[in-house]
Amino acid sequence: MYLRNAWLPAVAGLVLLVGCDSKPADTVPKTAPMAAKEAFELLPHLKYIAVRKDLKDIPVIAPDDMTGLYGNAWWFHNHAGQMDLTLTDQEIKDLGVEPVKDLGYLAPGVSMAGMQMAMDKLDAKQIQALPPEMSTVNLARVDKLPAENDKVNGKDFATINGNQALLRATFNAGLYRLLKGVPAELWNSMELLKTTPNPKNSLETGLVLGLEGKPVIEMTARQKADKTYAIIYVHYLVQPRVLAKAVAQK
């Protein structure tokens, strides 16, 4: 996918969409959908996971092999951190990534963007101290999974990447964290705007999700060995804080 952030400010219509008196039919599944045999069939899973909070469905739309999984997980948490999206302590526990939290790469209720904003306010004397949840967080580490050649944190890379169960959990947690960027009130109206087969890789399909024709998220789906599809890439074209503001203004 090669779309850029041109749509970041283009959400004025979202307020009207959220505030409309006539609500559309409920498109969020009440039970876990069948595994996606086509890339477009991933959307019901995304809605179901995001709104119903059924964490057991995440592995259904996760890759079945380990190839590139660490890089995907790295991107998920880094992008989530940039978008100020966090996990609660309970979610970290339920998703099985407490070891990653213990290493300092995840912090309950804290993102790299949120912490940087707080530190900027502290420097500007707009606040007297960092929020309590940030008091022991290392900004240089949170949301930044270590690289294999990291001279300082290389052992942490081996700890995560060398444990298949933990690596899968880290991937799943990152995907769930990104899905939290769309308020529950908007998932019902989220539509698939575009699918684009990758001309260089027949297993991959680009997806663009949006609201009333406005692109919100771009994703990449990849076909698994069992011929069902997984999500391997997520990128917000509209800042989650803008989506939250649209809901708050309804």
Mean pLDDT of 105-125: 97
Question: What was the pLDDT predicted at 151?
Answer: 87
DSSP run (H or E) holding 175 = helix 164-179
Q: What does residue 85 show for φ and ψ, rounded to 5 degrees?
A: -105, 135
Confidence of residue 24 (pLDDT cuts 50, 70, 90): low
Q: How confident is the model at residue 249 (pLDDT cuts 50, 70, 90)?
A: confident
pLDDT, tens digit, 9 for 90 and up, residues 149-196: 998 899 999 999 999 999 999 999 999 999 999 999 999 999 999 999
pLDDT in tens, 186-211: 999 999 999 999 999 999 999 999 99
- For 49-86, how does the pLDDT look when each residue is reduced to its tens digit (9 = 90+)? 999 999 999 999 999 999 999 999 999 999 999 999 99
Q: What does the alpha-carbon distance between residue 208 and residue 194 come to, in Å, rounded to a whole number?
A: 5
Q: Write down the pLDDT at residue 13.
A: 54
Q: How far is CA 203 from CA 39, 190, 226, in A?
A: 10, 24, 12
The pLDDT value recorded for residue 227 is 97
Radius of gyration over every alpha carbon of the chain, rounded to an integer in angstroms:
18
Dihedral (Cα; 105, 157, 239, 112), 10-degree rounding? 30
